[in-house]
Amino acid sequence: MKKMIGLALWLLAFLIPFKYAILDTEELIAPDGTTDNVTGLISFLAMVVLLFVGYALVDSAGSKTPSEASGH
């Protein structure tokens, strides 16, 4: 179950549009000349968080045999 949730989070992370995070630089300049990319920042942070949480879930879902459980 953890693996399926992790894979769903990865899919969701890549469905977040990169347009706002990286590619769209034309619409960043406000009429007063300042730049504002809060949408891009939020999109990028959401993508990174979803990737790491998804990885943690997929990694923890793997079955551990007793020989792998110990670090020695």
Averaged pLDDT, groups of 10, the chain, 72 residues long: 87 75 65 74 84 89 64 60
Whole domain around residue 52: which residue ranges?
A: 1-24+38-59
Instruction: State how many domains the chain has.
Output: 1
Whether 8 maps to a domain, the answer reads yes
pLDDT for 12 equals: 85
Whether 17 maps to a domain, the answer reads yes
59: closest CA among 13, 11, 5, 14?
5
Whether 68 maps to a domain, the answer reads no
3: closest CA among 17, 11, 16?
11
Whether 32 maps to a domain, the answer reads no
pLDDT for 22 equals: 60
Whether 7 maps to a domain, the answer reads yes
Beta-ladder partners of 48: none
pLDDT for 26 equals: 67
CA distance 29 to 35: 5
Model pTM above 0.85: no
Helix, strand or coil, per DSSP, at residue 69: helix
